[in-house]
Amino acid sequence: MAGRLVLVATPIGNLGDLSPRAVEVLADADVVACEDTRRTGKLLAHAGVSAPRLLVVNEHTEAAGAAEIAGLVAGGSTIVLVTDAGTPAVSDPGAKVVAAVLEAGREVEAVPGPSAALAALVVSGLPTGRFCFEGFLPRKGRHRADRVAVLAREPRTMVLFEAPHRLARTLGDLSSALGGDRAVAIVREQTKLHEEVWRGTLDDAVTRASSVEPRGEHVLVVAGCPEPTPPSEPQIRAALEERLADGLSRRDAAAAVAADLGVSRRAVYQISLAD
């Protein structure tokens, strides 16, 4: 019988979000790969599933676990991969396991379900048509600064994860790079008793984080960079006058202004002729 790997999304808080299909797949598993055997054991008990063999696959053991799981699947076993909460392989172990199983020519399936990123996105009130998932920012150094600088130019809605003890610093960095008036939604403790959604600007979020102790895991949903406002005709005329005063010909001045302002060279030249 052909083996397979099944990625199963698990509740991010409320155990009632575990789907009937997820319970069925967990019950049929030969091995359940998980981050924490105690946490997964409690989940299985809640679902009424007799615990099969549990294999620890976390950030420290994923590489070795991936090879073992690929071998088990090749031998005909059904392996279910879960994480402590949410969808495996999204800011959690799983990607290396999937790659190893696929490289071995075996099947990989997914049982979709809870996702902290998507749940926060859809309640944020920000555009959802296009978005990007950033996960956790690099913690320090040049890599962090470079990543935040890229986000400052990102036009899509951005979804980030953050731990409570780093929340204030991350909000401050985002406010400095993206602008304090950029809209943000902060979602914490999703589906749990103290679930909270706060919406405002990055500047307001920085102020709030300094006065309210952050508790629980947080998802930040940040508005994308707005489209630049096209330059007005008076702005184009002023730029043309500066270039002409520098001694450029009308044609060269139009080309320079078009390049500077990101507008059509022909349109700039036509404006110059109207003077």
Structure confidence by residue, pLDDT tens digits, 72-123: 999 999 999 999 999 999 989 999 999 999 999 999 999 999 999 999 999 9
Q: What single letter denotes the amino acid at residue 182?
A: R
**226-256 pLDDT per residue, tens:** 987 888 888 888 998 999 898 899 889 889 9
- Residue that terminates a domain, selected from 114, 144, 165: 114
Same domain, 83 and 149: no
- Is residue 117 left, alpha or beta, with left meaning phi > 0 and alpha meaning psi from -120 to 50? alpha
**pLDDT for residue 1 is more than 80:** no
Residue 81 lies in a domain: yes
Domain of residue 36: give its range: 4-114
Same domain, 35 and 97: yes
- The angle that helices 233-245 and 265-273 make with each other, rounded to 10 degrees, is 80
**Eight-class DSSP state of 35:** S
Domain co-membership, 42 together with 63: yes
Residues 131 and 110 in one domain: no
Q: What's the structural domain count of the chain?
A: 3
